[in-house]
Amino acid sequence: MTPLDLMLADFKEKYAAKSPSKAFARLYDDSELGSMFAYFHEQLTEHFDSINGRARSTRHYWADNSRELIALADELNQALLALKAVGVDVQFDDRYQQAVDRCLPWLSMSGGSTVPDNFEPVVLVRYEPVFLRAATTTVLKKDRRRVNLKMEGEGSYAIVYSYIDPDYGIKFAVKRAKKSISSRDLARFKNEFETMKRLSYPYILDVYQYDDARNEYRMEFCDATLRSFIARRNSSLSFASRRRIALQFLYAISYLHSQPLLHRDISLQNVLLKVYKSGAVLVKLSDFGLVKDPSSTFTRTQTEMRGTIRDPLLHDFRQYGVLNEIYAIGWVLSYIFTGRESLSATGDAVSRIVQKCTAHDIASRYQTVRDLIADVEQLSAPPVDTSARG
């Protein structure tokens, strides 16, 4: 089977299992992608219908629904990009595309979302398809010209480049192992790709294809690291934006722990962000070279201490656990909310959360990321100091 055949088969199985209703399934006479189209069409219509209703009443869209719509939009975008990459051209109705684009900037990952006062109701499409497939199959020419690579960053055993794909005009990234890499680190590099390939979550970086001849793999391109994004905006970034970034980061870690995996190299450089023209941002957790799979002997036998942010209470990398990961998470949260590369010690709610993450008594730390998320979701913006105003 070709890569196209495999992808279509995967999509057919995945979205048929979601059982879209007959009302939407009947709109798509496509044995391979019909269930996928019907699923996204139905889910988007239900969200838009609910948002229209909330816009007329409380102007508050519920927290769970907001998170679901953000994840749904990202899942749809990734699916359409994946299909385009193998030569399947899908047209998404402008009415729904524009509706998604209008909603994403004000949707919040926590506490619900405030529908803007000037929100125009979405025109619901129930009796005609919003996805059109140009043909059952198509073959792209796949331009074989060499493309220029731009170096984006360098790690201990790999270099990351970016390039514009000449067929699609889309920017991708390439992570290439250094020629001097040891056999063990090369095995770790390949394991990183395999691990990320099987993960599927809006806030985990997507990877696409491994090239054994070059020891490199393709992945989605992100616009900034967490460090560079906040450093450039620290004076103007709102508390609400910082909390959204923090929660997306925590959701990614919580998902990873549920697999169950430990990242073991959480840092300001390994948290990436996609930045959209609308101002919306999407966190993408990356760099899984030190990921620990409890079922794998590979990670248990590696004993040297690695990682950018190291828990001072950890003396043997084989013993690395959730509580050690939470220490590193505390440092990242501190940076998100303060823009300073030091632990917050101001005594406010954020500082108390950070201190609980990094407590010297390991038993006093958060025991799970889910417990940590619950506290971050409750954070509210600090009061404005008006004492200096005339």
Q: What is the pLDDT along the chain (390 residues), one digit of tens a residue?
A: 677 788 888 899 999 999 999 999 999 988 889 999 999 999 999 999 999 999 999 999 999 999 999 999 999 999 999 888 877 888 899 999 999 999 999 999 989 999 999 999 999 999 999 998 765 443 445 556 677 889 998 888 899 999 998 877 889 999 999 989 999 999 999 999 999 999 999 999 999 989 998 999 999 999 999 999 999 999 999 999 999 999 999 999 999 999 999 999 999 999 999 999 888 899 999 999 999 876 665 544 444 545 578 888 888 877 889 999 999 999 999 999 999 998 888 889 999 999 999 999 999 999 999 999 999 999 988 765 545 444
**120 shares its domain with 156:** no
**Do residues 329 and 226 touch, judged by C-beta distance below 8 A?**
no
| Crossing angle (nearest 10°) for helices 349-357 and 369-377 | 170
- Give pLDDT, residue 332: 97
Q: How far apart are CA 373 and CA 353, in angstroms?
A: 10
Residues 302, 205 share a domain: no
3-state secondary structure at position 31: coil
- On whether residue 198 sits in a domain, the answer given is yes
- Phi and psi at 340, nearest 5°, equal -110, 140
User: From the centroid of its chain, how far is CA 221?
Assistant: 12
Q: Is residue 347 part of a domain?
A: yes
> Domain check: are 203 and 314 in the same one?
no
pLDDT reported for residue 279: 84
Virtual CA dihedral for 155, 301, 321, 296, nearest 10 degrees?
Answer: 90
Q: In the structure encoding, which two tokens stand for residue 353, read together? A: 């959360």
Tell me what pLDDT residue 76 has: 96
pLDDT of 302: 47
Domain contains 350: yes
Q: Tell me how far apart the terminal alpha carbons of the chain are, to the nearest angstrom.
A: 74
**Which residue, 190, 220, 250, sits at the end of a domain?**
220
The C-alpha atoms of residue 334 and residue 249 are separated, in whole angstroms, by 13
Q: How far is Cα 62 from Cα 208, in angstroms, rounded to an integer?
A: 34
Assess if residue 385 is contained within a domain. Answer: no
Per the domain annotation, does 238 fall within a domain?
yes
Q: Is 11 exposed, middle or buried (0-12, 13-18, 19+ CB in 10 A)?
A: buried
Q: Which residues form the domain of 58?
A: 3-133
In a shared domain, residues 100 and 159: no
Residues 303, 163: one domain? no
In a domain, residue 303? The reply is yes
Residue 384, pLDDT score: 57
CATH at 195 = 3.30.200.20
Mark whether 91 and 157 lie in a shared domain. Answer: no
Is residue 143 a part of any domain in this protein?
no
Query: Are 257 and 125 found together in one domain?
Result: no
- Mark which of 133, 162, 189 sits at the end of a domain: 133
CATH number of the domain encompassing residue 265 = 1.10.510.10
Query: What is the token pair recorded at 130?
Result: 């919003």
What total of structural domains would you count in the chain? Answer: 3
204 with 254, same domain? no
The pLDDT of residue 142? 58
pLDDT computed for residue 382 by the predictor: 78
Residues 262 and 282 in one domain: yes
**Which of 197, 220, 243 is the last residue in one of the domains?**
220
The single-letter DSSP state of residue 204 is B
46 lies in the same domain as 87: yes
Same domain, 211 and 264: no
Is this model's pTM higher than 0.75 or not?
A: no
Residue 345 lies in a domain: yes
* 85 and 189 inside one domain: no
